[in-house]
């Protein structure tokens, strides 16, 4: 509701749309969305350093992100992993098979259910993730060379805050 005084001195009350009340909240400038998209794209293009994998080995982006999820949630059942990444079980199963064959993921039978298995990051898989993380930290250090420690800390804190807000929103829309 908005109120204002008319020229005659009476109070005029009229309904005006309130974006926060409508659930839209404050607007976000298009340049912020574009900047975040550029950052996400740049991070995705960093890839996996070849020296981390060894001669003749390759790891695609989806395999890498599945390894990250397993490292965060493992040991984990294949069905739970597929649900967590919101992909079809058959798709995740194929990708996991390749990661197991490549020695990046270990698969052990579930002692309580002989039909199921638990997936965990192997020592080699952990080494690959650490190599990727180190490579990304180096790229970030290069990009943030002229930033102060305070600016870096503020960026990290605000990105964690943004990630938390996005995760909360995702949980509310499922």
User: Are 63 and 99 contacting, i.e. CB atoms less than 8 angstroms apart?
Assistant: yes
Residue 97 lies in a domain: yes
Residue 68 lies in a domain: yes
Residue 105 lies in a domain: yes
Residue 148 lies in a domain: no
Domain CATH code at residue 91? 1.10.10.10
pTM of the model: 0.69
Residue 1 lies in a domain: no
Q: Of 118-122, 147-151, 162-166, which gets the smallest average pLDDT? A: 162-166
Residue 36 lies in a domain: no
Q: What are phi and psi of 120, to 5 degrees?
A: -140, 160
Share of the chain above pLDDT 70, in %: 81
User: What's the domain count of the chain?
Assistant: 1
The domain containing residue 65 runs over which residues? 57-140
pLDDT at position 169: 82
Angle, to 10 degrees, between the axis of helix 78-85 and the axis of helix 61-73? 110
Residue 78 lies in a domain: yes
Work out the mean pLDDT of the chain and round it to a whole number.
Answer: 82
pLDDT at 16 over 70: no
CA–CA distance from 108 to each of 78, 85, 95, 134 (Å)? Answer: 11, 21, 17, 29
pLDDT at position 136: 85
Structure confidence by residue, pLDDT tens digits, 4-14: 444 444 444 44
pLDDT band at 173 (very low <50, low <70, confident <90, very high): low
Residue 51 lies in a domain: no
Share of the chain above pLDDT 90, in %: 43
pLDDT top residue among 46 and 90: 90
pLDDT at 79 over 60: yes
pLDDT band at 90 (very low <50, low <70, confident <90, very high): very high
């Amino acid at each position: 509701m908005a109120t204002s005084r008319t020229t005659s001195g009476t109070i005029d009350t009229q309904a005006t749309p309130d974006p926060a009340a409508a659930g839209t909240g404050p607007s976000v400038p298009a340049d912020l969305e574009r900047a975040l998209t550029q950052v996400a794209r740049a991070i995705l293009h960093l890839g996996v350093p070849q020296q981390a994998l060894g001669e003749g080995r390759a790891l695609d982006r989806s395999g890498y992100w599945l390894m990250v999820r397993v490292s965060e949630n493992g040991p984990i059942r294949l069905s739970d992993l597929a649900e967590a990444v919101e992909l079809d079980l058959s798709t995740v199963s194929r990708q996991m098979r390749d990661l197991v064959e490549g020695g990046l993921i270990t698969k052990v039978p579930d002692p309580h259910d002989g039909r199921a298995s638990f997936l965990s990051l192997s020592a080699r898989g952990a080494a690959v993730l650490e190599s990727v993380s180190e490579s990304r930290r180096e790229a970030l250090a290069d990009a943030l060379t002229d930033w102060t420690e305070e600016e870096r800390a503020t960026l990290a804190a605000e990105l964690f805050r943004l990630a938390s807000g996005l995760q909360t929103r995702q949980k509310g829309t499922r």
